[in-house]
Amino acid sequence: MKIGVYFCKCGTNISDRIDPQKVMEEITKLKDVAYFETVDFLCAEEGKEFLEKDLKKKKPMRVVIGACSPRDHEKTFMNVLSKAAINPYLMQMVNIREHVAWVISDICKASDKASAYLKGAVARVQLHEPLKPEELNVCPDVLVIGAGPAGLKASLSLTEAGRKVVLVEKNPVIGGMPVRYEEIFPNMECGPCMLEPMLGDVLHGDNSENIELLTLSEVVEVAGYLGNFIVKIKQLPRYVNPEKCIGCRECIEPCPVSAKNEFNCSLDERKAISFAFSGGLPNFPFIDDEVCLRTKGENCRLCEDACIVDDAINFDDKKKVIERNVGAIIVAVGAELYDCSNLTNLGYGKLPNIYTSLEFERIIASNGPTEGEIQGFGKNGPRSIAIIHCAGSLDKNHIKYCSGTCCQSAFKFNQFISKKLPNTKIFHFFKEISVPGKETFQLYNKALNNPDSLFIRYRNINEIDVSIENGRLAIHYSFSSGKRCKSTADMIILCPPIIPSSDTAELGSILEIPADRYGFFEELHNRVDSVQSKLKGVYLTGSCQSPMDIQNAMNQGLAASGYILSGLPEGKKLEIEPIIASVDEERCSGCRVCILVCPYKAIDFDEEKAKATTNSVLCQGCGTCVAACPAGVIKGNHFTAEELLAEIQGVLT
């Protein structure tokens, strides 16, 4: 066999530590090595040009390149081989820079080690097979789970590029958390107004025909892989026909039953037929099965009787399971707040006038339970409001991390309270202040310069005790010096950390994507690839990946759609890397050990044949199944047992 060996000096990086002459003398002794070329910089334009010309002239059957890490330039040299009409998998690259030159100071030892590595490569490359990437037809449609800022932004940018989106939202309304905020930090814009244009675009914008919006829906099953997922979605009946309903609200008043309104954090009640909150979109009501008298066997038709449009109420509506084929999935299911009743010393849930930040958002919202009025303190409102930051964050007994947005909410409340109730004192009880970014720091400065604000740094949340004294809330706390002190307030707002939503674990197991140590969906890489999950074709956006503000949630939605538009191009075929595993069906005993060990869920079991089969799209070629198969019938392309043994033997000769 004619093998060509190329030795890159990498300037002086390699040649200062490894003697090319000595290595050449060793390697050219090998029977199959036809020639040995030394090059200054093989990755430079000149080096690549030389390599291409030399390969075309000498026509080797196999190529060995001794240079830097394959992570840096394996693809570069494979491309040169292709240009020279040589199958790129007939090359073996050896890392003589990081693995040898940079770690061994003795030039003799380094030259011997480089020679040994190259001998291994010469032995194994003879067994290389010409491999070819597989091509796959892909479905360009996208499933977006969750219609908050992240999911909406992703859906709109995808449909703007002509893609079809199936947008699944478990609530009856879209917009996520921010449609429930009266004002949005840092610029104190009206929350519903800021999102309304996006919601309008989803419902009836230029590209809305490309969005299939499924409200009251959840994903229950996912099978398949990048380019070809089959998804099952469970949709609860709404009992209201969106084609007919005009959103006039005539049906609400006559309904005889009520329940706590979860959209207002259970601070008020709603009817069995209701709108989540006024202004919520899409603008038609839903009937809550759990509350409606009809599900309790009664023949109540009061909402239908009151309805001014024929057939807008549809009691025959049924739960459905809808199946869709998509090429990629964007997860945008948001997060929730840490339960403040875990901090028993703060009195939440036991004492009056103590609210979480989200509850306070609803209290001050004009579409909230009190239409924006802070009630119960006479016309001048409360004399003082205490805002307790880090209610459970940065605490080893509760949540260890900082959510990075709670301080901003607290300062948003500061501005709001001062505007609405100018004489109210505002205490900020804080442990740390976190206000990154150019705009948010100004929000902090405004609160700091507000003459009605008082900032108090407490030592530990567990040392705060809230009780009722003389009809007001008494807050006993310790300064960082340990000195105990007391303040009184009429109302307390707790700012708890943002934690993964209760759905995360179940959805994670349906999608087969892992969670990080805090329970958020785990990204592929937290700096370089925070939008990709560990599973190809499933992307993570918004606060289900990590606590974040609306700006970042929207940016992640946009990033995920960018990944899909570039990585899953419409009409194009997907190229699949051929260095993957394959099962010899004839010899497979069907023991399923490979299925248990595969970290990428890339092996299925064919029940009919009782054999394991690998999925070339999901397989990452890690070789775990190859090593685990007790019958040795799984082959890892490019890493066969024969190739590995030959390499070891080559190194040892």
Binding interface with ligand FAD (CB under 6 A): 145-151, 168-171, 176-178, 181, 184-185, 218, 332-334, 337, 357-358, 361, 405, 409, 412, 498, 501, 503, 507, 542-543, 548-551, 553
Q: Closer to ligand FAD at the Cβ: 51 or 184?
A: 184
Rg (CA), the chain: 32
| E-only strand ranges, 470-522 | 472-478, 484-489, 491-494, 498-500
Spatial separation of the C-alpha atoms in residues 140 and 324, rounded to whole Å = 12
Q: What CA–CA distances, in Å, run from 545 to 131, 156, 513, 533, 549?
A: 37, 20, 12, 9, 12
Least separation in angstroms between residue 560's CB and ligand FAD is 11
Least separation in angstroms between residue 393's CB and ligand FAD is 12
Least separation in angstroms between residue 197's CB and ligand FAD is 16
Least separation in angstroms between residue 401's CB and ligand FAD is 15
Spatial separation of the C-alpha atoms in residues 311 and 293, rounded to whole Å = 19
* Burial letters 203-216, b for 16+ CB under 10 A, else e: eebebbebbbbbbb
Least separation in angstroms between residue 419's CB and ligand FAD is 15
Contact criterion met (CB below 8 Å) for 206 and 254: no
Q: Closer to ligand FAD at the Cβ: 101 or 222?
A: 222
Spatial separation of the C-alpha atoms in residues 58 and 517, rounded to whole Å = 54
| Strands 183-184 and 189-190, sheet pairing | antiparallel
Q: Closer to ligand FAD at the Cβ: 94 or 147?
A: 147
Least separation in angstroms between residue 519's CB and ligand FAD is 14
Our measurement of the distance from residue 630's CA atom to the centroid of its chain's CA atoms, rounded to an integer in Å, reads 36
Spatial separation of the C-alpha atoms in residues 257 and 300, rounded to whole Å = 11
Q: What sign results for the dihedral spanned by CA atoms 36, 41, 47, 52?
A: positive
Spatial separation of the C-alpha atoms in residues 379 and 366, rounded to whole Å = 17
Q: Closer to ligand FAD at the Cβ: 138 or 343?
A: 343
Q: What single-letter DSSP state applies at residue 99? A: I
Q: Closer to ligand FAD at the Cβ: 551 or 589?
A: 551
Contact criterion met (CB below 8 Å) for 250 and 342: no
Q: Closer to ligand FAD at the Cβ: 92 or 155?
A: 155
Least separation in angstroms between residue 198's CB and ligand FAD is 11
Least separation in angstroms between residue 547's CB and ligand FAD is 8
Q: Closer to ligand FAD at the Cβ: 181 or 286?
A: 181
Q: Closer to ligand FAD at the Cβ: 13 or 543?
A: 543
Q: Closer to ligand FAD at the Cβ: 264 or 405?
A: 405
Least separation in angstroms between residue 155's CB and ligand FAD is 11
What SS3 class is residue 644? helix
Residue 354, phi-psi category: left (phi > 0), alpha (psi -120 to 50), beta (remainder): beta
Closest CA relative to residue 149, chosen from 515, 532, 560: 560
Least separation in angstroms between residue 338's CB and ligand FAD is 10
Spatial separation of the C-alpha atoms in residues 491 and 417, rounded to whole Å = 12
Q: Closer to ligand FAD at the Cβ: 333 or 612?
A: 333
Helix segments in 59-106, DSSP class H = 70-83
Residue 67: beta bridge partners?
95
Q: Closer to ligand FAD at the Cβ: 340 or 583?
A: 340
Residue whose structure tokens are 């109420």: 313
Least separation in angstroms between residue 249's CB and ligand FAD is 22
Which pair of tokens denotes residue 415? 């501005």
Q: What sign results for the dihedral spanned by CA atoms 610, 615, 618, 620?
A: positive
Spatial separation of the C-alpha atoms in residues 286 and 262, rounded to whole Å = 14
Closest CA relative to residue 265, chosen from 177, 197, 152, 335: 177
Q: Closer to ligand FAD at the Cβ: 136 or 433?
A: 433
Spatial separation of the C-alpha atoms in residues 394 and 550, rounded to whole Å = 22
Helix/strand/coil (H/E/C) assignment for every residue in 394-455: CCCCCCCCCCCCHHHHHHHHHHHHHHHCCCCEEEEEECCCCCCCHHHHHHHHHHHHCCCEEE
Least separation in angstroms between residue 332's CB and ligand FAD is 5
- Cα atoms in the Cβ-side hemisphere of radius 13 Å centred on 568: 29
Please count the other Cβ atoms lying within 10 Å of the Cβ belonging to residue 600.
19
Which pair of tokens denotes residue 166? 């199936």
Q: Closer to ligand FAD at the Cβ: 358 or 491?
A: 358
Residue 334: beta bridge partners?
none
Least separation in angstroms between residue 291's CB and ligand FAD is 19
Residue whose structure tokens are 């199959």: 32
Amino acid code (one letter) for 454: L
Q: Closer to ligand FAD at the Cβ: 95 or 414?
A: 414
Q: Closer to ligand FAD at the Cβ: 8 or 550?
A: 550
Q: Closer to ligand FAD at the Cβ: 118 or 168?
A: 168
CA dihedral 610, 616, 620, 624 (to 10 degrees): 20
